[in-house]
């Protein structure tokens, strides 16, 4: 399995680890990417969640039938990307086809990746945030619930929509908004911000 490799896109900036949980706090669907023994793969996951602030941790459900799970188990590392509206079709595609039966899955869905120095899992172009994770093995959870826990060791975001520790979707083009999966190809798109509290209504 190969994917087109590109240089790090413009606008990608590191996110401090103490702010990494905010990349998932609004509940976006993610892309899970992993690499092992010369194979790379990407799948979609709606069941991904922040688990802790610092060191930041995440959970993600990886079904036993997925090829990506085997790469995560084999390598002990994975990345989560937060896809934008611009790659909604890709997100549905890599979540529908399995590399187990569609060997050219990544090329078929136009997946283009870049790499972060010192980290094997590829990062998917068109996402607006990326979290590089080290698997914290919890074999019972993995076996019984397909639930994987990762410690976030590095994070990045597209500065057009996430900067100074906050999302700024309202000030960016709509195609950069993140996605929330329902079922059957239907997504909701991240909506308007509502500030509640001292500075809000
Ligand atoms: C939007 C979307 C969200 C999904 N969420 C999950 C999920 O949270 N966990 C999971 O195991 N599979 C989920 N899937 C299904 C996998 O992405 C799918 O089985 C995929 O084909 C696995 O690819 P692979 O076998 O190449 O790794 C989702 C599919 C879609 C389209």
In a domain, 195, yes or no: no
Pocket probe for ligand 1: among 29, 32, 66, the residue whose CB has the most ligand atoms within 8 Å is 66
Confirm whether 119 is domain-assigned.
yes
Instruction: Please state the rounded mean pLDDT for residues 147-173.
Output: 98
Q: Report if residue 201 sits inside a domain.
A: no
**The overall pTM is greater than 0.95:** yes
pLDDT of residue 114: 97
Q: What is the pLDDT of residues 44-81, one digit of tens each?
A: 999 999 999 999 999 999 999 999 999 999 999 999 99
Please identify, by atom number, the ligand 1 atom nearest to the C-alpha of residue 179. Answer: 1
168 belongs to a structural domain: yes
Pocket (CB within 6 angstroms of ligand 1): 29, 41, 43-47, 61-63, 66-68, 91-92, 95-100, 105, 181
Q: Give a yes or no: residue 196 inside a domain.
A: no
Q: Is residue 200 one of the residues assigned to a domain?
A: no
pLDDT in tens, 178-193: 999 999 999 999 999 9
Q: Atom of ligand 1 at shortest distance to CA of 71? A: 27
Task: Tell the residue number behind the tokens 């002990």, with chain if given.
Answer: 76
Residue 199 included in any domain: no
Residue 198: inside a domain: no
* CATH code assigned at 91: 2.30.110.10
**Residue whose CB lies within 8 A of the most ligand 1 atoms, among 24, 34, 43, 58, for a mutation test:** 43
pLDDT at 198 over 90: no
What range defines the domain where residue 89 resides?
4-189
Q: Residue 187 CA to chain centroid, in angstroms?
A: 16
CB under 8 A, 24+ apart: contacts of 172-178? 174/85, 175/84, 175/85, 175/86, 176/84, 176/85, 176/86, 176/128, 177/84, 177/85, 178/26, 178/28, 178/29, 178/82, 178/83, 178/84, 178/85, 178/128
Structural domains of the chain, count: 1
Ligand 1 atom at shortest distance from the alpha carbon of 62:
11
């Amino acid at each position: 399995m190969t994917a087109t490799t590109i240089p790090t896109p413009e606008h990608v900036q590191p996110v401090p680890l103490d702010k990494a949980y905010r990349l998932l706090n609004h509940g976006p669907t993610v892309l899970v990417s992993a690499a092992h023994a010369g194979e790379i793969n990407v799948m979609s996951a709606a069941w991904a969640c922040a688990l802790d602030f610092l060191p930041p941790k995440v959970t993600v459900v990886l079904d036993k039938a997925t090829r990506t799970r085997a790469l995560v188990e084999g390598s002990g590392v994975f990345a989560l990307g937060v896809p934008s509206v611009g790659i909604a079709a890709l997100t549905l595609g890599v979540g529908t086809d399995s590399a187990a039966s569609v060997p050219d899955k990544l090329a078929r869905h136009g997946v283009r990746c870049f790499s972060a120095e010192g980290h094997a899992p590829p990062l998917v172009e068109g996402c607006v945030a990326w979290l590089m994770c080290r698997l914290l093995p919890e074999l019972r959870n993995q076996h019984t619930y397909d639930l994987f826990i990762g410690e976030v060791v590095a994070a990045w975001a597209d500065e057009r929509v996430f900067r100074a520790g906050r999302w700024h979707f309202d000030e960016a083009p709509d195609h950069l908004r993140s996605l929330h999966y329902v079922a059957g190809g239907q997504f909701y798109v991240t909506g308007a911000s509502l500030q509640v509290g001292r500075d809000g209504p």
